Structure 1
Amino acid sequence: MLAQKTIEIIKSTAPVLEVKGTEITSLFYKRMFENHPELLNIFNHVNQKKGRQQTALANTVYAAAQNIDRLEALLPAVKQIAHKHRSLGIKPEQYPIVGEYLLKAIKEVLGDEATEEILEAWGAAYGVIAQVFIDVEEGMYQEAASQEAGWRDFKNFTVVKKEVESSLITSFYLQPEDGKMVPDFLPGQYITIRTAIPGEEYLFNRQYSLSSAPNKEYFRISVKREAEHSPEGKVSNYLHDSVSEGAVIEVSAPAGDFHLDVNDHSPVTLISGGVGITPMFSMLEALAKNTPSRPALFIHASRNEEVHAFKKNVAELMEVLDNGRAFFAYEKPVNAGTLCDHRGYIDTAVLDGLVDRDSIFYVCGPAPFMKAVISSLMSIGIPEDKICYEFFGPAMKFQLQEA
């Protein structure tokens, strides 16, 4: 428990963190990596370069400061981050390193404003918050390891099949190198792929949604090829160009709190943009296999028909569902004769005439797409607590009211 004086100091410094949080976290990462470069084997370098991780951490620290006297309010966010940490193999012994350089960054940015009293308060608060993460993550590690065919950190998997799904997306079928079956997971969850790329100093970690329903034989990820020389393209191009059938890669146990509620039988609407179709297809396939009577609407937006993955597969699953419907939108079809349900963006008018108001909604895709879709859903009267969504990359909140 924190002393009341410590709580008062933390809450009084929260406004400063709101203003200077990203400056502090940017300096924190810079100093920490200078002194502990081995941690670059864990962190996503792209998110670092684009400032996403710094912003996400700043938001987390600010939220912790605001809620330091009621940490239970942070548990949903803690669990979401803990899923990421568990899938990356974050260890308890790394938390003191983070604490040390976070306090040093606070001191360096705030200067004389960061008195010894303030730094001591933040040191105590960080210790409490870190322990919450450590405890939650240990529970997740134990759960991952204790389930049938489970494991704790990373495990070698063999690429047993590569399959082209569209002009940009290729699927990789992964089976355990030891010949054992794969563990169960919830439709919508992801795995982390850890790989060494020739010529690169550090390991790369990328999280990919599982794109098939749970089965005992394999995991499947479906990877979009990013622009060749973009930071995002480093791993995706390596997988597309250099990882062939028979290759061995390291894989984490499935993780993530964005998933289909398999015990709910109310109508469900799955809305995706681009490669955001991957967790949605896992959900749709699971519905067809386990609860085909559940009403399901599958809405997908693609730039054009050439980049649209799983179109035929979705149509086949619709034949299995008792009350299923697919709706495809193309921004700019390549061919004039291409058939689709809508040309242009999925906007408020489209959703207003399409969705069941009693549905549970799942949304995944690029951030601008999700912001537009979620704002449109809310504007037609869908309660926010009926809308589930997931970002690619660090968890970051957007201001829906600006849409």
Structure 2
Amino acid sequence: MPTPLDEKTRSIILATVPALKAHGLAITEEMYKRLLARPEIRDLFNQSHQRDLEQPKALALAVLAYAQHINDLGRLGGMVERIAEKHVGLNILPEHYPFVADALLGAIGHVLGSAATPEIVEAWGKAYWFLADVLIGREKQIYDEHEQAPGGWKGWRAFTVRARHQETPEIVSFELVPADGGRLFRHKAGQYLSFKLDIPDHGSQRRNYSISSAPGADHYRITVRRHELGLVSPWLHESVRVGDTLLAANPAGDFFLDETASSPVVFLTAGVGLTPIVSMLGALCGAKAGRAIRYVHGADSRELAAFVPEITALAADNALKADFFYAKDKALDEVVGAGVTRHAGRVSTEWLREVADPAATYYICGPESFMQDMIGTLHDAGLPAAQIRYEIFGSASNPDLVL
């Protein structure tokens, strides 16, 4: 374990909280500007998250949280685990950390000017390397676990596209099998694959996509929504065909199904946020766990909702109950089949408040505003944090979700 930070360092870090609140985003923007100027580092990042400032905003919140809780770092355990899993997915290695240290400390000095005294810069250097050592240690554990597990690997592994399925006009699924014909690592239901993709005229790109297939299948399936203003998703939709090869890292992520529990499960999803949940459904229903399952999904219309036939079939087998909400449909609420109810409009906080099950564990994934509404409603209903689990697609810009 890294040596704990001394009291003087912690007091200096705590004293910088007002400056981070005022200038945190400017610091992280400058930090990324410096990092992205380094060719050996640039390709590790999702460039689209730089253009919309999503990643700098998320990092600014994380740095602020670190400073605010410097005397009680146990509060940040979930955040640290999420970062470590993300780093493993992207194949971040110990040799990358000095680049980040130089960029962060340089950015603090650049933005704060004379206010960044040598004492403050030294304290943040110590604080950075303390956290870096924690992350490096945890990441090594995960790398080693992956490499030693049946079918596991380290670094990038080639996968062949075995099949592709047009789920909706906007969503395509790709079935991937190891190009070397070897075993497949059994992922945890809810985890994602990270990809190193070579996009013509745009170079190397990194992206994460949730695995939508159940653990134990002979393939991984990713399900990708096309974002018209995006770079990678249109390329996947238009250019990737059966027989093509993609490079992927070992499955990663701290959002996964607790298969040892026996409590009721409620899945709350919207849009393409259903992808990790579909994997969880496959795990639960395949194991015939006997747990009460409720699946709630929101989409703009029936045409744009993926996996409806599969969910409907599970409901017909009494494996679950399902509620489909269609924001642009005008039909009244109605039961449309065994265990399936169709609703007009979006999944509302009022509806959730009425049906909230205090004994259930909730798994939530979708747009950030949707998750904030659902999580806030469940908190207000008295559910403890341990029963509310969620996945953030991209980088969270809400402090509560970051923590």
Q: Is TM more than 0.5 here?
A: yes
Q: For 1:149 and 1:39, how far apart are their aligned partners in 2? A: 29
Q: For 2:46 and 2:152, how far apart are their aligned partners in 1? A: 25
Q: Write out per-residue CA displacement over residues 307-350 of structure 1, whole angstroms, 9 at most, x where no aligned residue.
A: 1100000112224455x201111011289999662101111332
Q: How does 1:284-295 map to 2 (within 5 A)?
A: 284-295=281-292
Alignment match, 1:300: 297
Q: What letter corresponds to residue 7 of structure 2 in structure 1? A: Q
Q: CA deviation at 1:351?
A: 1.8
1:264 is matched with which residue: 261, 264, 285?
261
Q: Write out per-residue CA displacement over residues 15-61 of structure 1, whole angstroms, 9 at most, x where no aligned residue.
A: 21122111111011112222x13322110111111111111111121
Q: Write out per-residue CA displacement over residues 109-148 of structure 1, whole angstroms, 9 at most, x where no aligned residue.
A: 1111111111111112211111111111111111111110
Alignment match, 1:19: 22
Q: For 1:381 and 1:124, how far apart are their aligned partners in 2? A: 40
Counterpart check, 1:310 vs 2:313: no
Q: For 2:324 and 2:382, how far apart are their aligned partners in 1? A: 23
SS for the counterpart of 1:280 is helix
Q: For 2:397 and 2:196, how far apart are their aligned partners in 1? A: 23
Q: How does 1:23-42 map to 2 (within 5 A)?
A: 23-34=26-37, 36-42=38-44
2:323 is matched with which residue: 321, 327, 333?
327
Q: CA deviation at 1:225?
A: 1.0
Q: For 2:352 and 2:59, how far apart are their aligned partners in 1? A: 34
Q: How does 1:142-181 map to 2 (within 5 A)?
A: 142-181=144-183
SS for the counterpart of 2:355 is coil
Alignment match, 1:140: 142
After TM superposition, what 4+ stretches of structure 1 lie above 6 angstroms from structure 2? 334-338
Q: Which runs of 5+ in 2 are unaligned?
A: none
Q: What letter corresponds to residue 330 of structure 1 in structure 2? A: Y
Q: What letter corresponds to residue 214 of structure 1 in structure 2? A: P
Q: Write out per-residue CA displacement over residues 78-105 of structure 1, whole angstroms, 9 at most, x where no aligned residue.
A: 1111100000010101101100111111
Distance 1:349 1:205, change over 3 A: same
| 8 A Cα contact 1:213 1:283, kept in partner | yes
RMSD between superposed Cα atoms in Å? 1.9
Range moving further from structure 2, 16-25 or 346-355: 346-355
Counterpart check, 1:251 vs 2:253: no
Q: For 2:333 and 2:132, how far apart are their aligned partners in 1? A: 57
Distance 1:69 1:213, change over 3 A: same
Q: How does 1:48-63 map to 2 (within 5 A)?
A: 48-63=50-65
Q: Which runs of 5+ in 1 are unaligned?
A: none
Q: What letter corresponds to residue 348 of structure 1 in structure 2? A: T
Give me the identity figure in percent: 39
Q: What letter corresponds to residue 347 of structure 1 in structure 2? A: S
Q: How does 1:1-400 map to 2 (within 5 A)?
A: 1=3, 2-34=5-37, 36-200=38-202, 202-227=203-228, 230=229, 233-322=230-319, 324-333=320-329, 341-398=342-399
SS for the counterpart of 2:394 is coil
| 8 A Cα contact 2:331 2:344, kept in partner | no
Q: For 2:369 and 2:171, how far apart are their aligned partners in 1? A: 20
Q: CA deviation at 1:399?
A: 5.7
Q: What letter corresponds to residue 19 of structure 2 in structure 1? A: V
TM-score normalized by the length of structure 1: 0.93
| 8 A Cα contact 2:299 2:327, kept in partner | yes
Range moving further from structure 2, 267-276 or 346-355: 346-355
Q: For 1:258 and 1:46, how far apart are their aligned partners in 2? A: 23
Q: For 2:13 and 2:333, how far apart are their aligned partners in 1? A: 62
| 8 A Cα contact 1:154 1:251, kept in partner | yes
Q: Write out per-residue CA displacement over residues 334-375 of structure 1, whole angstroms, 9 at most, x where no aligned residue.
A: 899996621011113322343422110011011122122222
| 8 A Cα contact 1:158 1:249, kept in partner | yes
SS for the counterpart of 1:165 is strand
TM-score normalized by the length of structure 2: 0.93
Distance 1:292 1:312, change over 3 A: farther
Q: CA deviation at 1:381?
A: 3.5
**What is the total number of aligned residue pairs between the two structures?**
393
Distance 1:63 1:150, change over 3 A: same
| 8 A Cα contact 2:333 2:342, kept in partner | no
Q: What letter corresponds to residue 306 of structure 2 in structure 1? A: A
Q: For 2:162 and 2:325, how far apart are their aligned partners in 1? A: 33
